[in-house]
Amino acid sequence: MESLDLSVARRAPLIVPPDAFADKLDIRGDDRIDLRSLGIYPGIAGGAQGFMQVGDIVTTTTDGRPLTEIWAAYREALALYNGQRDRLLSALVFPVVEVVEDVFQGGNTVDFEEASEFGVPMGVRPEVPAYFSLGYSFKWWDIGLRFTWKFLAEKTGDEVDALNNQILEADNRNQFSEVFKQIFNNVTRVANINNQNYNVFPIYNNDSTVPPRWKNTVHVAPHQHFIASGSVTVDSGDFDTAEAHLKHHGYSWQEGSALITLVNSAQMAVIRTFRVATGSAYDFIQAETVPSWAWSTADINASLERPGAAPPASFQGLNISGRYGPWLLVEEDLIPAGYMLHFATGGSENAQNIVGIREHRNNSLRGLRLVKGQEPDYPIINSYYQRGFGTGVRQRGAAVVQQLTAGSYTIPTGMTW
């Protein structure tokens, strides 16, 4: 039998299968060698060097908080987080799970005819189909914090919690980014789902679509809701234009929609000065809880002239800055300076909202998910976060995007696909 140089085994650990030694070394009974003393562990690469044994696995953070407790807390926090959507997003979106939906766009009207003594009444035959087939994109997004045992051994529970909160904020920001791209981008996309292409439409973008008739308004193609205002400064006429564009599709306060305008703080400063006395159709009215020091003399006079006209401080959870005619104004610097978004909403995640936000058909794959790592007893180690979703416009006539420019509409920086 070939001899084994044991000095080599002491210098370099061997990788061997569990039962290899009895046959190779012909070891029997009392002559059995203690292989662990040689740095050799049957079935384990590298022997004892560089490996954590069960008793050595990190089970708590450096301040003594159990990892299993952190994992359970994060799962509970994600359930709460997924159960509510940001209030601004909720006013803009409606949840969907289908790749393509036939969505009612409003419009079609029918009329009675005088009854005849003979014959039957004419059946309803809408002049223009009121349902459009609209597609939605879908992508998977993920991020890993790499909760290795070395990392967790050095961090406190609060430090680990802070990283989890960063993930939640990043997920919320990512959803905002995708929804706002869908609204401000005037390009029709193509989503490839299961090797089949589907059109993902923006709001009306001057394509060949003929919007459905609304009352006595008959539309033709092309039809445009991405509008260049004609000036770099916002004026009250911009609101009149936007109101007309929504109203002739059936979106107005008379029809039960709330009209919201999202503006950057740069434009909000100008809108606060709108007054009938200077040519505007309405006076701008501050929201009722705006502090008194923020009221100008013109604000006070406008309020005195129209007692009870001040809008509430919030609507469907949105912080309202004031009212201009039918429009509730929300100051939001997520809106790029020089652009305004005017839209109709039916409320939180209402079917009449502009954008469909599509999630997976499988309910267990919806929302932000915390996917466990490979270690079953300590799932937070090497875990990662994942969300799958996509967007598509559902109500093409329910919004108007205006750019304050003397030229033509251009997609804002960062809003391209």
pLDDT digit string, tens, across residues 99-131: 888 776 655 555 677 776 666 676 655 544 456
Answer yes or no: is pLDDT of 51 > 70: no
- The residue that leads in pLDDT, 109 or 7, is 109
pLDDT band at residue 178 using 50, 70 and 90 as cut-offs: very high
Answer yes or no: is pLDDT of 404 > 80: yes
pLDDT band at residue 85 using 50, 70 and 90 as cut-offs: confident
288 with 406, same domain: the answer is yes
- The residue that leads in pLDDT, 185 or 286, is 185
301 with 389, same domain: the answer is yes
Range of the domain at 367: 58-109+127-417
- The residue that leads in pLDDT, 129 or 167, is 167
pLDDT band at residue 150 using 50, 70 and 90 as cut-offs: confident
42 with 183, same domain: the answer is no
25 with 149, same domain: the answer is no
Average of per-residue pLDDT values in the chain = 80
pLDDT band at residue 378 using 50, 70 and 90 as cut-offs: confident
286 with 411, same domain: the answer is yes
Q: Is residue 1 in a domain?
A: no
Q: What percent of the chain has pLDDT over 70?
A: 75
355 with 255, same domain: the answer is yes
14 with 73, same domain: the answer is no
Q: What is the mean pLDDT of residues 2-24?
A: 43
* pLDDT given at position 151: 78
Q: Report if pTM > 0.95.
A: no
* pLDDT given at position 12: 42
Answer yes or no: is pLDDT of 340 > 50: yes
Answer yes or no: is pLDDT of 143 > 70: yes
pLDDT band at residue 45 using 50, 70 and 90 as cut-offs: very low
144 with 279, same domain: the answer is yes
Q: What percent of the chain has pLDDT over 90?
A: 41
Find which of 216-220, 255-259, 263-267 is predicted with most confidence, using mean pLDDT: 263-267
Report the C-alpha gap between 250 and 320 in whole angstroms.
24
Answer yes or no: is pLDDT of 17 > 70: no
pLDDT band at residue 196 using 50, 70 and 90 as cut-offs: confident
Answer yes or no: is pLDDT of 342 > 60: yes
Q: How many domains does the chain have?
A: 2
Q: Which CATH number belongs to the domain containing residue 180 in this structure?
A: 3.90.1690
- The residue that leads in pLDDT, 7 or 71, is 71
69 with 131, same domain: the answer is yes
Answer yes or no: is pLDDT of 9 > 90: no
19 with 149, same domain: the answer is no
**pLDDT tens-digit series, residues 203-250:** 999 999 999 888 889 999 999 999 999 999 999 999 999 999 999 999
Min mean pLDDT across 119-123, 163-167, 358-362, 385-389 is at 119-123
* pLDDT given at position 327: 95
